[in-house]
Amino acid sequence: MRVVVKLGVVMADRNVKSKDLAAHVGITEANLSLLKQGKVKGVRFETLEKICAYLDCEPGDILKIER
Amino acid sequence: MTIDRLPGRGSQWRDAGLRGFSGLMAAFCGLSGIVLAAMIAAGLASGAYSHLTGANVDWTKGKAETSVTLRSSLNKTICSPMPNGGAKCQKSTDGISLSEAAPSFFGSLVAATPGFALVYGLLQATLCFVGLASGAYLHRATVSRLKKFAVAGLIFLFANPIAGVLGRLAAYLTYHVIRVASGKDGFAWFGNFERTYEGVNDILVPIYAVTLTIIALVMVRASRIAEDHAQIV
């Protein structure tokens, strides 16, 4: 059982550019790229909240459990 | 595109070793602190005895390599004002009066201050090692005690060489204030407040060496946590 990040899929669905989302959330594009690839140890609630506000989605749309 | 779980990097044997060694160091620091406190108390008592009676104290217990020595003697100079404005001074080996005992004891206390600081530092080191032995590596209390131990060590290092002079000055000033307040002339100069802590460095060096080693190990742990924390976006 592992957590899978679907941020790239949600961004593609909404046609959002990484540069715009990173600027809105307040993180670097490099960190956003790492998040999209799931190469991070965790996500702050604050970051998740801003991402969801910009993409108009739920946290469950971005993070999924893969069994 | 998955988030890996934090890898289990902490080795159990290393953790157990660190905790066990910290426990041993806590016992060593605690014992050293108790012995040092007893020595300071005995020094104050022997000083008070020799100052009050005028008798010298010269007590040695143990062999040449490991011995405890207490030496106290009265070195007092009494000066009386002369009609021509000068002062006539003479050394005295008589015991001091009770009115002189307060300044003398105060001077002894001031001279012993670095020793008190070291005892306090060893107590803090003991509590710090107890914290480490119980696994509270990065707790605020443990780190705070480590800081207090370091500061107390610094106070001992810098204050000990001048403690004798400060003790003499404190005794003189207290004596002078008492004489002025009671309307009496003349003054006495007490000259025997030097304290040496022979063998203390032999105890402190291993304590500091072990403390530094444990700090290094804890810093490795802290850097891993910081590294993990840096990967949270």
Quick check: A3 and B232 CB within 8 A? no
Q: How high is the pLDDT of residue B3?
A: 43
Give the per-residue pLDDT at A44: 93
Nearest CA in chain A to B232: A42
Of B38-47, B75-84, B106-115, B151-160, the range with the lowest mean pLDDT is B75-84
Q: Kindly report, residue by residue over B102-111, the tens digit of the pLDDT.
A: 787 888 888 8
pLDDT at B5 over 80: no
Q: Residue B1's pLDDT band (boundaries 50, 70, 90)?
A: very low
- pLDDT score recorded for residue B2: 44
Do residue A40 and residue B233 have CB atoms under 8 angstroms apart?
yes
The verdict on a CB contact (< 8 Å) between A35 and B231 is no
Query: Which ipTM was obtained for this model?
Result: 0.75
pLDDT computed for residue B138 by the predictor: 86
Domain ranges of chain A: 2-66
Structure tokens at A4: 């899978």
Check if the beta carbon of residue A52 is closer than 8 Å to that of residue A59: yes
B1 vs A contacts (CB less than 8 Å) = 4-6, 8, 36-38
Q: Which residues contact B222 (CB under 8 A, 6 or more apart)?
A: B137, B138
List the CATH code of the domain at A2-66.
1.10.260.40
* Range ranked top by mean pLDDT from B8-17, B25-34, B98-107: B25-34
Q: How many CB atoms lie within 10 A of CB B91?
A: 11
Per the model's pLDDT, the better-predicted residue between B11 and B37 turns out to be: B37
Which residues contact residue A59 at a Cβ distance below 8 angstroms, ignoring those fewer than 6 apart?
A48, A52
Distance of residue B2 Cα from the nearest chain A Cα, in angstroms: 4
* Cβ-defined contact of A3 to B228 (cutoff 8 Å): no
